[in-house]
């Protein structure tokens, strides 16, 4: 094991519907000198009835701990790595949410279980963490987003041993995939590291919760989201081969798998909310 500080600097997953629809949305990325070693990002927002139906969560290759700070009955779910887009992961509206995002490879250090056991699942935190009730109490009693970040850090320093760590191989592989925007082939990574594809797949399933191939596709999708934020669909199409897609149909099919809409519809909905014909 070693202290990582690179892959986490490269990756800031995008969840556009949150920033667009939630005026209360806040985020915080701790410095690399924090105990989390760059492996955690924080998000906060208030969820009402209307926006609860509008929220759509995109795959990002991360695990999230989603805490509902409802004063009388707080709750929290561990949300595993998503393979496809999903509408809503929230247990109730009228609630302030505090979300801890564990970047690829970091979650096992905190939860103590292989990340693959959580993939595509939402599991109550009390089923996993022995001091879950105390974590909820510490977070919920605070009234501001910065105070909740501090409450989590205090809990971490009390119950989690040492600086957050990640295996050297996982850090290197995820860094290479992120730097290439998901265009590297598993065989390329195998030749680069000397590890077999089979070994890398097992390591990824344990620490990432997805195969190297699926993780690469998710990273590529996240990169496409960033490009589409510029609202230029034609320029994006011009780059599909550079991004590793076989053709336009492959690009649209994969984007729709992760977002439940086409790239063109995504841009139109983002800018005006209007409907669009299929591309």
Q: What is the mean pLDDT of residues 188-209?
A: 96
Backbone angles phi, psi at 268, to 5 degrees: -65, -45
Q: What is the mean pLDDT of residues 101-130?
A: 95
Span 77-107, pLDDT tens digits: 999 999 998 876 666 778 899 999 999 999 9
pLDDT at position 270, please? 72
Asked if residue 278 is part of any domain, the answer here is no
Beta bridge mates, 166 = 2
| Range of lowest pLDDT (17-21, 147-151, 175-179, 267-271) | 267-271
Asked if residue 57 is part of any domain, the answer here is yes
Asked if residue 188 is part of any domain, the answer here is yes
Asked if residue 277 is part of any domain, the answer here is no
Asked if residue 44 is part of any domain, the answer here is yes
Instruction: Answer yes or no: do 43 and 131 share one domain.
Output: yes
Please state, in angstroms and as integers, the Cα–Cα distance from residue 220 to each residue in 61, 149, 177, 212, following that order: 11, 30, 9, 12
Instruction: Answer yes or no: do 146 and 12 share one domain.
Output: yes
Cα–Cα dist 149/67, whole Å = 12
Q: Higher model confidence: residue 260 or residue 64?
A: 64
Judge whether 266 and 56 are in contact, CB under 8 Å.
no
Q: What is the mean pLDDT of residues 238-258?
A: 90
pLDDT at position 7, please? 54
Asked if residue 1 is part of any domain, the answer here is no
DSSP 206-260: HHTSS-HHHHHHHHHHHHHHHHHTT--HHHHHHTTTTTT-SSHHHHHHHHHHHHS
Residue that the structure tokens 């939402």 belong to? 122
Cα–Cα dist 251/257, whole Å = 10
Q: What's this model's pTM, rounded to 2 decimal places? A: 0.90
Instruction: Answer yes or no: do 86 and 152 share one domain.
Output: yes
Single residue among 142, 159, 176 that ends a domain in this structure: 159
Q: What is the mean pLDDT of residues 144-159?
A: 95
| Residue 99 φ/ψ region, left for φ over 0, alpha for ψ in the -120 to 50 degree band, beta for the rest | beta
pLDDT at position 276, please? 36
Q: What is the mean pLDDT of residues 21-42?
A: 86
pLDDT at position 258, please? 95
Classify residue 183 by burial, with Cβ atoms within 10 Å: 0-12, 13-18, 19+: middle
Instruction: Answer yes or no: do 149 and 16 share one domain.
Output: yes
Is pLDDT of 112 > 90?
yes
Instruction: Answer yes or no: do 153 and 202 share one domain.
Output: no
Instruction: Answer yes or no: do 56 and 137 share one domain.
Output: yes
Residue that the structure tokens 């690469």 belong to? 216
Asked if residue 45 is part of any domain, the answer here is yes
- For 252, other C-beta atoms within 10 Å of its C-beta total 20
Single residue among 159, 190, 221 that ends a domain in this structure: 159
| Range of lowest pLDDT (48-52, 59-63, 239-243) | 48-52
DSSP 82: P
Instruction: Answer yes or no: do 174 and 154 share one domain.
Output: no
Instruction: Answer yes or no: do 145 and 240 share one domain.
Output: no
Is pLDDT of 34 > 90?
no
Instruction: Answer yes or no: do 22 and 130 share one domain.
Output: yes
Span 174-191, pLDDT tens digits: 999 999 999 999 999 999
Single residue among 107, 125, 159 that ends a domain in this structure: 159
Query: Over the range 108-137, which residues count as b (16 or more CB within 10 Å of their CB) and which as e?
Result: bbbbeeebbbbbeeebebeebbeebeebbe
Most confident of 3-12, 126-135, 262-271: 126-135
pLDDT at position 274, please? 39
Percentage of the chain exceeding pLDDT 90? 62
Instruction: Answer yes or no: do 23 and 71 share one domain.
Output: yes
Is pLDDT of 241 > 90?
no
Instruction: Answer yes or no: do 147 and 126 share one domain.
Output: yes
pLDDT at position 4, please? 45
What band does 231 get if pLDDT is binned at 50, 70 and 90? low
Residue 228 domain boundaries:
168-271
Backbone angles phi, psi at 43, to 5 degrees: -140, 145
Report the domain count for the chain: 2
Q: What is the mean pLDDT of the chain?
A: 88
Asked if residue 118 is part of any domain, the answer here is yes
Whichever domain contains 190, its CATH number is 1.10.10.60
Instruction: Answer yes or no: do 105 and 201 share one domain.
Output: no
Is pLDDT of 2 > 50?
no
């Amino acid at each position: 094991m070693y202290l990582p500080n690179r892959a986490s600097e490269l990756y800031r997953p995008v969840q556009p519907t949150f920033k667009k629809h939630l005026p209360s949305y806040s985020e915080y990325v701790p410095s690399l000198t924090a105990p989390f070693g760059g492996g955690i990002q924080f998000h906060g927002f208030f969820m009402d009835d209307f926006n609860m139906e509008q929220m759509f969560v995109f795959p990002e290759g991360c695990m999230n701990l989603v805490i509902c700070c409802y004063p009388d009955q707080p709750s929290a779910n561990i949300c595993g790595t998503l393979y496809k887009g999903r509408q809503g992961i929230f247990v109730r509206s009228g609630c302030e949410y505090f979300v801890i995002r564990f970047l690829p490879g970091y979650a096992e250090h905190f939860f103590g279980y292989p990340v693959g056991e959580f993939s595509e699942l939402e599991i109550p935190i009390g089923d996993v963490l022995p001091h879950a009730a105390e974590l909820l109490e510490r977070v919920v009693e605070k009234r501001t987003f910065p105070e909740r970040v501090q409450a989590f850090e205090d809990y971490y320093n009390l119950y989690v041993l040492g600086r957050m760590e990640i295996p050297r191989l996982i850090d290197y592989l995820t860094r290479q995939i992120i730097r290439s925007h998901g265009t590297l082939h598993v065989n390329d990574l195998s030749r680069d590291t000397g590890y077999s594809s089979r070994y890398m797949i097992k390591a990824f399933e344990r620490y990432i919760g997805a195969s190297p191939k699926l993780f690469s596709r998710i990273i590529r999708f996240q990169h496409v989201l960033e490009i589409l934020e510029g609202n230029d669909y034609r320029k994006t199409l011009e780059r599909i081969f550079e991004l590793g897609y076989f053709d336009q149909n492959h690009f649209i099919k994969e984007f729709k798998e992760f977002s439940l809409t086409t790239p063109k519809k995504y841009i139109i909905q983002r800018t005006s909310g209007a409907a669009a014909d299929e591309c």
